Amino acid sequence: MALLSPIRPPPRHDPSLAARLATWRASGRTPRALLWPALVALLLVAQTLLVTLTLRYEEARAQERSDDVAAAALSDIRRRTQMALQGLQGLQQRPDAPQAWSGGAGDLLRQQREIGRIEWRDRGARILEAAESPFREPLFAHWPRADMDVETEVACDAARRVMAPMFSRSQFVPLAGGHGVEVMDVCVPVQQAGQLVGFTVASIVLPLLLDEVRVAEVGRSHELSFVEADGTRLARSGAVRGGGVFIADRVVDLPGTTLQVRVDAVQRAPRLIPNLATALVLGLSIGLFVVVVLLLRDGRRRARAESLLAEALAFRKAMEDSLLTGLRARDRDGRIVYANPAFCAMVGYSVEELQRAGPPPYWPPEQTAEYQRRQAERLTPGAALAPPHQGYETVFLRRDGERFPVMIYEAPLVDGVGKHTGWMSAVLDISAQRRAEDLSRQQQERLQATARLASVGEMASLLSHELNQPLSAIASYATGSLNLLAEPDDQTLDLMHQALTRIAEQAERAGRVIKSVHDFVRRRHSAHEVVTADLLIESVLPLVRLQARKSGVRVDVDVAPPAPRVRVDRTMVEQVLLNLARNAVQAMEADTPLAERVLTLRVRRVAGAQGDWVRFSVLDAGPGIAAEVAPRLFTPFFTTKVEGMGLGLSLCRTVIEQHGGAMDFENLPSAHPRAGPAGLAGGTEFRFTLPLSLPRGPAP
Ligand code: ADP
């Protein structure tokens, strides 16, 4: 009954869920196949763009910082040169007092560390006085000042012409140990009463000027330097080295010359991984990509599940369509929500017709009220259903008006969350089975009738033998009586009385014989009744004795008291006993010595695995069953007798099995081994069991 497993009934008016699913899958397949690659491509492009833009942004930020640092450095350099100029011009106040000049120059050298040396020169630019920076070795200690004076004189010439401070081009001043520094001179003309009286020349050490720049980034994240127009570096500051990528150049315009300041960020071109922002974006991209891949895999799994589901649905539909068993699902109101083709074919109505409201069209009109009552009972919440494997039998009506018996197995329909939604029924058309059963019953009855007739035929000869004696006795008493009447005398009345008494006795004896046969032949109504085993034996005993007497067989009855009770069809079981007894008598007729011809009818109560039984045994002292005969003994029409029908044992076994019992036989060991053709066994025991019927008593 796997078909009756709890499944949700398909929605009403929806004959083919599987077909719809298949159509939906087919329609969605093409766009979905394109959708995923498109999504992946879009994601790739978007992520690449995002990463590139992030990198660009980072670059722009770095460049911007370099520009800012350069601007700040430029303004600081301007400020310092301005301060230097102001300081130098302050020295001119007392040009004639060398003492004062030296003091002022010393102060200025201490304040402005970038100034390496200050000279006081006359109008011809000849050095009169010079002061060296206290912070470093004298500038021209290793190289004569005169050799380095050309640029200074050019600047002083220009200063003389314009009567304003002029800067010289920078030049390299060698120092001890092969080193050297780039130095730029500034020549400030000194005037008195509007006349040029001399010059103040200061040598500005460019690296020191850079060192004095107070910009936070310089020396930490940016390298600051002076470069020439061709990029040659003149001086640099700080311990850090620029990366050469984010460079900002600014020009410092000084009277007489220009200086190019370069700010070079330590940072190189932003790389993909160490950069936090890019790493974040990259991580997100990878995450997105993983999600897409997972989604893809999930999609594929779903597609697979869908295809499996569609297959399963198609298989279920094919199975339901090909089933010969009718399937019907009803909701909790008893309305049909589903019927398979077999059910429709059985009753001759379409699913739509079956789903209409009102009593189902396959209910016979005369039974509708009864069926409605039964259905109402079954639909009552909590009503007990018949166990599914037992089912119940009822009658349905085909569209053509034919009534036919059906077997219905019903089980509750429970959905996925355990809710009772209705009932599923398997409906079997058992009309063919009923026809076959009727046919077999008729055949059985015919066979039994034949067997009975055969027994009757046999009995006819017995009867003639049995009735012969009383009849001939009656005849001779009648003849004697007639003779007495012909010549009456004093004793005639007495003798007549005796003769008539004998006649009555003999007639009664004949009557008994006839009654016993009549009792057997008369067809009793076939019904099961409870009888005691001894009653069964007693019923057949007159006939058995009749047969036995003819063959000189003694009949022993062995029923252990109290006689057990059985519930049987008496006629049938009596016939079984009679058949076995007849076989037993016949078996002893040929070779068994007269003294040993004993037929025993035995009844015992036995305990078995499945309850108590009553065992009936019929024992004879015949030749036993030969090995080649044994396997075919219960085959219909098998016989070893010239006039045998061969039906007896096969019918007997059928009757016993119909009563729930079993029949077998056993060869008995010989008490007196005899010589002879079949003298191996000491007879045969045929036995059969019937279930014991317990007398009704108080419930246990
Ligand atoms: P039938 O008596 O008409 O031959 P049965 O079916 O009653 O048909 O018996 C079939 C055969 O079984 C018999 O022909 C006989 O050979 C054998 N048979 C039956 N009962 C006995 C018995 N008690 N002893 C020996 N053989 C027997």
Dist CA 349 CA 364 (whole Å): 14
| Ligand 1 mutation pick, 448, 455, 639, max ligand atoms within 8 A of CB | 639
Q: How far is the CA of 648 from the centre of ligand 1 (A)?
A: 8
Q: Is 633 exposed, middle or buried (0-12, 13-18, 19+ CB in 10 A)?
A: middle
User: Which ligand 1 atom sits nearest the alpha carbon of residue 646?
Assistant: 8
From the CA of 643, give the closest atom in ligand 1.
3
**Helix (H/G/I), strand (E/B), else coil: 273:** coil
Q: What percent helix, strand, coil does the chain show, rounded to 5?
A: 50, 25, 30
Looking at the CA of residue 683, tell me the nearest atom of ligand 1: 24
Q: Which atom of ligand 1 is nearest to the CA of 640?
A: 14
State residue 4's pLDDT score: 40
Model confidence at 698, in pLDDT bands (50, 70, 90)? very low
Beta strands in 582-659 (DSSP E): 598-608, 611-619
What's the pLDDT tens digit per position in 326-383? 999 988 888 899 999 999 999 999 999 998 878 899 999 998 888 888 888 777 766 6
Q: How far is ligand 1, taken at its centre, from the CA of residue 638, in Å?
A: 8
CB 65 within 8 A of CB 246: yes
pLDDT bin (cut points 50, 70, 90) of residue 676 is: very low
How much distance in Å is there from the Cα of 446 to the middle of ligand 1? Answer: 21
Distance of CA 443 to the CA centre of its chain: 53
Residues 413/425, Cβ–Cβ less than 8 Å:
no
CA of 597 to the centre of ligand 1 (A): 17
Q: What's the average model confidence in pLDDT over 100-105?
A: 85
Q: Confidence band (pLDDT; 50, 70, 90) for 670?
A: confident
Q: How many angstroms separate the CA atoms of 267 and 244, rounded?
A: 9
Residue of minimum CA distance from atom 10 in ligand 1: 639
**Residue whose CA is closest, atom 19 of ligand 1?**
583
Q: If you take atom 20 of ligand 1, which residue's CA is the nearest one? A: 583
Mean pLDDT of 555-573: 89
Where residue 677 falls among pLDDT bands split at 50, 70, 90? very low
What is residue 6's predicted lDDT score, i.e. its pLDDT?
A: 43
Task: State the closest ligand 1 atom to the C-alpha of 650, by its place in the atom list counted from 1.
Answer: 6
Closest CA to 120 of 88, 83, 73: 88
CB 423 within 8 Å of CB 329: yes
Q: Which atom of ligand 1 has the smallest separation from the CA of 645?
A: 3
What was the pLDDT predicted at 679? 45
* pLDDT band, residue 609 (cuts 50/70/90): confident
Mean pLDDT of all residues in 464-484: 81
What gap in Å lies between CA 568 and CA 658, rounded to an integer?
A: 10
Confidence band for 10, pLDDT divided at 50, 70 and 90: very low
Please say if the pLDDT value at position 72 is more than 60.
yes
**Checking DSSP bridges between strand 565-569 and strand 684-691, what pairing results, if any?**
unpaired
Q: What is the pLDDT of residues 276-321, one digit of tens each?
A: 767 777 788 788 888 888 888 988 899 999 999 999 999 988 888 8
Residue 264: strand, helix, or coil: strand
Tokens for 377, please give them.
């009972």
Give the rounded percent of residues in the chain with a pLDDT score beyond 70: 85
pLDDT greater than 70 at residue 30: no
The amino acid at residue 454 is A
CA of 503 to the centre of ligand 1 (A): 40
- Helix, coil or strand: residue 219: coil
User: Strands 326-331 and 115-122: what pairing?
Assistant: unpaired
Residue 515 CB burial class (10 angstroms; 0-12, 13-18, ≥19): exposed
Between 217-231, 344-358, 555-569, 611-625, the lowest mean confidence (pLDDT) is in 217-231
Q: Looking at residue 516, what is its pLDDT?
A: 65
Residue 699 pLDDT exceeds 50? no
User: Can you tell me the distance from the alpha carbon of 65 to that of 217, in angstroms, rounded to the nearest whole number?
Assistant: 9
Q: What is the pLDDT of residue 13?
A: 44
684 C-alpha to ligand 1 centroid (Å)? 11
What is the distance between the alpha carbons of residues 464 and 459, in angstroms, rounded to a whole number? 8
Residue of the CA atom closest to atom 21 of ligand 1: 583
Q: From CA 557, how far away is CA 125, in angstroms rounded?
A: 172
Tell me: pLDDT of 5 over 70: no
Measured in Å, residue 458 CA sits from the centre of ligand 1 at 15
For residue 100, pLDDT over 70 is answered with: yes
**Is the bond leading into 700 cis (omega within 30 degrees of zero)?**
no
Q: What is the per-residue burial (b if ≥16 Cβ within 10 Å, else e) of 274-309?
A: ebeebeebbeebeeeeeeeeeeeeeeeeeeeeeeee
Which whole number is the average pLDDT over 195-213? 90
- Most trustworthy range by pLDDT among 148-152, 154-158, 384-388, 537-541: 154-158
Expressed in angstroms and rounded, the spacing between residue 640 Cα and the centre of ligand 1 is 7
The average confidence (pLDDT) of the chain is: 83
Identity of residue 506: Q
Residue nearest to atom 23 of ligand 1 (CA): 584
> Rounded to whole angstroms, how far apart are CA atoms 25 and 40?
22
Cα(691) to ligand 1 centroid in Å equals 25
Q: Is the pLDDT of residue 11 over 90?
A: no
Determine the average pLDDT of the residues in 86-101. Answer: 76
Q: How many whole angstroms from 436 Cα to the centroid of ligand 1? A: 30
Residue 529's contacts (CB-CB under 8 Å, 6 or more residues apart) are 567, 568, 569, 570
pLDDT digits 0-9 by tens, 225-260 = 999 878 888 888 877 888 888 999 999 999 988 889
Distance 651 CA to ligand 1 centre (A): 12
Residues with CB under 6 A from ligand 1: 579, 583-584, 587, 620, 622, 625, 629, 633, 638-641, 644-646, 648-649, 684
What pLDDT score was predicted for residue 101?
A: 84
Q: What is the pLDDT of residues 445-456, one digit of tens each?
A: 777 677 666 666
Beta strand segments in 533-637, E: 554-559, 565-569, 598-608, 611-619
Q: Which of 583, 585, 633 to mutate to test the pocket of ligand 1 (most atoms within 8 A of CB)?
A: 583
pLDDT of residue 637: 75
pLDDT score recorded for residue 640 = 85
Pairing type for strands 598-608 and 554-559 reads parallel
Confidence (pLDDT) at 2: 38
Q: Can you give the pLDDT at residue 262?
A: 93
